[in-house]
Each structure stands twice: as structure tokens, then as C-alpha cells.
Chains A and B, each alone.
Chain A
Amino acid sequence: MRSWKVWLMSALSVGFLALLGFGLTRDTQVLPSAIIGEEAPTFDLQTLDGDSLKLSSLRGKVVVLNFWASWCIPCREEHPVLEMAASHYRGTDMRLLGVVYQDNRQNAKGFLSENGGSWPSVLDPGSRVAIDYGVYGVPETFFLDRTGHIALKHVGPVPWEIFSSTVDSLLATPAPGDAATTSDAPATSDALDSSENGR
């Protein structure tokens, strides 16, 4: 009689503590993303120079989408990593593309002339593309594989180690057209593995 009550109470307490432990050890600042592994939403936006840029025109390349703003302090911190990436991956299939978030052309251009940066950035009026990507702050960086799927999302300034390891593994994955003879499945699982490591 007494022993089953003791067992029940301890089982309930352990369960409750496990739930509390799970809840309290999670990083509440990092939100789960719903679009990892999904096809990246397409867009057709104007660059800071006024040209039109379609995401679909970069299909087959490894695209790194970086949401940023001139008013964003962590973006300033992140900028040297992006510059390093731009020069390190020059001549490869990596394409770095900035998406200006809640900012205007003048301020964005001012930021780039002050801090450097030769890669294109597009303007996102009304943050429609940012919402399409589930962005909730800047900087956020999305790594797209050659098939246009989102392999990894990084919230906050992206460290060079994560940037390089992710892009290296995505570049090592052949585009589906080139690799018609080899199976597609290991390619995608490779990309996902690297995103796991990157986290």
C-alpha cells in the first residue's frame, strides 16, 4: 500500500523534473526554424545599384544569403567574416548575397563604403522576403545548396568556422545535373550533416 504510493510519487516527481530540466536548459533566444531543408523562397529584388537580381539566376551555385542592416551592431561585428569569405571563395561557385533588412538604400550604401564589401546586396521593401525566410532579427545567414534548398540557417554573427565548413561541404556536393550518374541521396544527406556539425 505504502510502497506503491512512494513509487508513484517518485515517478511523477522524476517526470516533472525531467520536463523542467528540458525547458530550463533550452536556449530560448534561438528559435526553431521551419524552413531548414526546404526549398529557399525565390525573389526578384533590386540591388543597391538598381539592377534586378533573381535568386533563381543563381541556381546551381552555393548561395549564402546574409540578412543585414546598417543600424545593426552585430552586423558590423560580422562584416570582417563576410569580407574574408568573399575573398577566400573568389573564383568558386559560392555566391554571397546580402539582403538589406528594414533599411534604406542610402544608409546601406554608406555602410558598405565605410566598411567595404564588393558582393551585391538587394533591398527588401516591406521585409517581404525576410518574412518569407522566417527572419526575426539581423544578422541571419542562410546557406543554400546547389539545388536551392536551405541547408543551414545561422542566427547572429556567423563565425568563420561555421561559414567555411558549411560552404566547403556544400561546394563539395556536385550539382544534380553534373552528377546524374551518382545517386542524389548521399549528396543531400552530406549537406544536412554539415549543417548539424555547424550548429
Chain B
Amino acid sequence: MTGRRPSARPARPLPVAVLLAGAALAVWGPAHPVVAQDSTMVGVASTAAADTTGGLSGAALDDQTAKVAAQLRCPVCRGQSVLESTATLSKEIQAEIRQRLAQGQSPDSVKAYFVSRYGEWILLKPPAHGFGLLVYLFPIAILLGGLGVSVWFVRSRRAREPADVVHDTGPANEGAWSEGEGDVPGADLSEDERSWLEGALRDR
């Protein structure tokens, strides 16, 4: 009974560490594919730059226009990207993106142009600096806080409850009256209590 506790204690930091790592991955994970996407964009732009007038053309231009448009917020509908939106201004912004890419501007500089006109608000994904950083740090802070609270809660519960009570209320023992187990429920009853209980069960 009491022999189990010391072995459980040292094991605890590991699951917590795994959880923390998982939480960090969950929060930061989505940011990485975008970074990768950006670098492939530049790759596409530079390979296409070699064949024509310095800008994109054909399917590569369509692709790239759509990729940039998907990252910009429609100024009219606001909840949608320029790519999804059917607002006239979105169509016009798409045309502007296309023209700039065709002229040989990189996707990053096209985005920078729109940021310089509409502010960082135009980016659907908030930038990971300044006030926008809160969006990325808040989930981590809340996860850590929640973890701290649950660890504290479990610990204070364990400290308050006597060891034997834990076994009587444990879900594993519910309804199980099997022989051969170390902790038979009712093993700590007195003789009187035991005979009363058996009588009560027989009369049922």
C-alpha cells in the first residue's frame, strides 16, 4: 500500500516534461510549415525568373498569386482571405498581387507592400513580434498554468486523504469481490461488522 508511493514520485517529472514538449510542439508546430512554404515560394520565384522577363508566368504565377492572396485579409469582409473573398476589392488586390509577381517581385516583398498600405492587420496570421506575440505565448501560458493547477490539485488531494481510504474509493475496486487479491475490500472490518454485513447480504 504505502510501498507504491515512493516509486510513483520520481516518475512524475517525465510525463510532465513530455506534456510540456507536446504543448510546445502543438503551439509552435503550425508556424514551421509556413516558413518552409515561404522558402519554397522564393525557390519557385527564382527558378521561374530564369526563363522569362524576370517575373513569374503561367501556372507558376497562378499558384503564387493564390498563395499570397491566401495570406492576406480581405479589407471589406475581414474574416476571409483575399483568395476566398468575392468582394470586388479582393479581386482587385489579387490582380495587384499578380501584376507585382509578374514584374519579378518576391512574394515577401508583395506582402510587405500591402502591410505598408494597410498595416499588419492585412496579414491573416499575426506577426510573431510586438503585440502579436501574445497570440502565440498565451496558449503556452494557459497550458502551463492549467498544468500547474492540476498538479497542485492532485497533490493537495493526495496529501489530505488517508492511504486506506484511497483504496476503498478507487474505481478499480468497484464491484470487484474477487479472491486472491491483496486488498480484499472489507479486509479491515471488525468481526462484528463482518458478520452483520454478511447477514445483510444474505437477506437481500
Contacts and interface: CB of A to CB of B under 8 A. Distances in A.
Interface of A: 12, 19, 31-35, 102, 126-128, 130-137
Contacts of B121: 31-32
Interface string B103-121: 0000000000001111111
A12 B53 CA distance: 57
B96 interface: yes
A74 B22 CA distance: 52
A136 B117 contact: no
Nearest to B148: A8
Given A102-B92, A128-B92, 13 more contacts: A31-B75, A31-B119, A34-B116, A35-B117, A102-B88, A126-B92, A127-B89, A127-B92, A128-B96, A132-B117, A135-B75, A136-B75, A136-B89
When A and B form their complex, which 10 residue pairs have the shortest distance between CB atoms, in order from nearest? A136-B75, A34-B119, A134-B117, A127-B92, A134-B118, A32-B119, A102-B88, A126-B92, A131-B96, A31-B121
9 contacts: A31-B118, A33-B118, A34-B117, A35-B116, A102-B89, A102-B92, A127-B88, A131-B92, A134-B118
Interface in B7-34: none
Contacts of B93: 131
B76 interface: yes
Mostly helix, strand, loop or mixed at chain B's interface? Answer: helix
B124 to A, nearest CB: 14
Nearest to B92: A127
Contacts of B75: 31, 135-137
A126 B92 CA distance: 6
Nearest to A132: B117
Nearest to A31: B121
